[in-house]
């Protein structure tokens, strides 16, 4: 399929210049305790080879056989591009065993940035501790319940994706998660040394005064950009130095609030593969 070939030509060692930060105060103690329980520093050091997963997710999850031989059929929702620059897709899976939900998050950034996203996501809980532990022997990070009997969920980070598999009426959902993990492994490639951009972001001015508005235009550099890609400004990554105003088609308007050098992050996602690329526009407010 032509969009898979296009993505293969695009990827390289660069995951984009925008770094995601998840060091918030919310549930900080819970998050730090979880990081300690799974030996977070060793995970950072154990950096796996950078790779990218190339799948047509809708076609892949229409029919999938799990590790126990059960056939699952999937109803795929519309993909979306979040305000952190992350791609998202939810799939409702059904088999004779019951129903399950698969949440797919596509991440840019390097290994530690993706790992930090998982730490932040896992700590979004009402529990006093994160109910997850690392299952050894699985690439890259594979989490199963620590406290609950059976396996009602499995979450894993592989390449540029974080996958959450959960069910309420099935004791063991891990066989579905392992099938997903394997199909991703079978369709992954180690990143090369060159990177061709899929879009460019251009500001109408790079130096402005406080109160001035900058207009930034997004232009696709790949085939079928308008039909197969989603682009957005990653608003939750903006500093207080600049204010998001509005979007007019492929043009984004932002107002300078404080003096200084400012980086404005943008992201684009392919709707079939969920591949995400991030870029920044740098401006200076004097």
User: Which phi and psi angles does 283 have, rounded to 5°?
Assistant: -130, 165
Q: Is the pLDDT confidence value at 13 over 60?
A: no
Beta bridge partners of 267: 232, 278
In percent, how much of the chain has pLDDT > 70?
89
pTM of the predicted model, to two decimals? 0.87
- Same domain (yes/no): 141, 170: yes
- Same domain (yes/no): 17, 123: yes
Within a domain: residue 263? yes
119-132 burial code (b ≥16 CB/10 A, e <16) = bbbbbeeeeeebbb
Instruction: State the pLDDT at residue 129.
Output: 86
Distance CA 267, CA 247 (A): 14
User: Which phi and psi angles does 182 have, rounded to 5°?
Assistant: -70, -40
Distance CA 22, CA 26 (A): 10
Which comes out higher in pLDDT, residue 219 or 83? 219
- 20: Cβ–Cβ under 8 A, 6 or more apart, which residues? 84, 85, 86, 107, 108, 109, 113, 116, 117, 237
Instruction: State the pLDDT at residue 24.
Output: 62
CA 68 centroid distance within chain? 28
* Overall domain count for the chain: 2
Q: Two tokens at 239?
A: 């500093």
Which comes out higher in pLDDT, residue 125 or 177? 177
- Same domain (yes/no): 135, 268: no
Pairing of strands 276-285, 207-208: parallel
Q: Is the pLDDT confidence value at 111 over 80?
A: yes
- Same domain (yes/no): 28, 143: yes
Domain boundary among 158, 190, 222: 190
- Same domain (yes/no): 44, 95: yes
The reply to whether omega before 245 is within 30° of 0 (cis) is no
- Same domain (yes/no): 61, 13: yes
pLDDT in tens, 174-202: 899 999 999 999 999 887 655 678 999 99
Distance CA 123, CA 113 (A): 16
Domain that holds residue 259: 199-279
Domain boundary among 190, 213, 231: 190
Within a domain: residue 284? no
Pairing of strands 199-203, 161-166: unpaired
Within a domain: residue 159? yes
Contact 160, 52 (CB under 8 A): yes
What DSSP character marks residue 68? Answer: T
Q: Is the pLDDT confidence value at 82 over 80?
A: yes
Domain boundary among 167, 190, 213: 190
Element (H, E) at 158: strand 153-158
State the average pLDDT over residues 9-17.
38
Distance CA 149, CA 151 (A): 7
- Same domain (yes/no): 203, 185: no
Contact 248, 204 (CB under 8 A): no
pLDDT in tens, 27-72: 889 999 999 999 999 999 999 988 999 999 999 999 999 988 999 9
CATH number (domain holding residue 267): 2.60.40
Q: Is the pLDDT confidence value at 273 over 70?
A: yes
- Same domain (yes/no): 174, 233: no
3-class secondary structure per residue, 212-255 = CEEEEEEEECCCCHHHHEEEEECHHHCCCCEEEEEEECCEEEEE
R_g over Cα of the chain: 20
Instruction: Select from 117, 94, 106 the least CA-distant residue to 57.
Output: 106
Contact 239, 259 (CB under 8 A): no
Contact 107, 113 (CB under 8 A): yes
């Amino acid at each position: 399929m032509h969009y898979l070939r296009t993505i293969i030509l695009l990827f390289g060692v660069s995951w984009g210049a925008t770094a995601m930060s998840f060091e918030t105060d919310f549930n900080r103690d819970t998050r730090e305790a979880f990081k300690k329980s799974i030996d977070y520093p060793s995970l950072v050091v154990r950096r796996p080879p950078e790779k990218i997963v190339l799948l047509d997710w809708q076609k892949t999850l229409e029919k999938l056989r799990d590790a126990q031989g059960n056939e699952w059929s999937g109803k795929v929702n519309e993909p979306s591009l979040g305000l952190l620059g992350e791609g998202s897709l939810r799939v409702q899976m059904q088999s004779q065993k019951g129903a399950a939900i698969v949440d797919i998050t596509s991440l840019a950034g390097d290994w530690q940035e993706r790992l930090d996203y998982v730490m932040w996501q896992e700590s979004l809980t009402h529990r006093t501790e994160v109910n997850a532990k690392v299952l050894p022997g699985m690439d890259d990070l594979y989490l199963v319940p620590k406290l609950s009997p059976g396996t009602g969920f499995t979450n894993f980070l592989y390449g540029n994706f974080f996958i959450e598999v959960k069910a309420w009426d099935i004791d063991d959902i891990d066989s579905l998660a392992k099938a997903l993990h394997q199909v991703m492994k079978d369709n992954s490639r180690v990143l090369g040394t060159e990177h061709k951009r899929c879009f460019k972001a251009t500001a109408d001015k790079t130096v402005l005064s406080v109160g001035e508005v900058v207009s930034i235009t997004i232009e696709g550099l790949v085939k079928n950009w308008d039909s197969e890609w989603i682009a957005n400004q990653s608003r939750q990554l903006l500093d207080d130095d600049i204010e998001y105003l509005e979007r007019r088609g492929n043009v984004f308007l932002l107002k300078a609030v404080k003096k200084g050098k400012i980086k404005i992050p943008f992201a684009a996602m392919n709707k079939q593969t969920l591949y995400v690329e991030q870029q920044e526009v740098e401006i200076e407010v004097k």
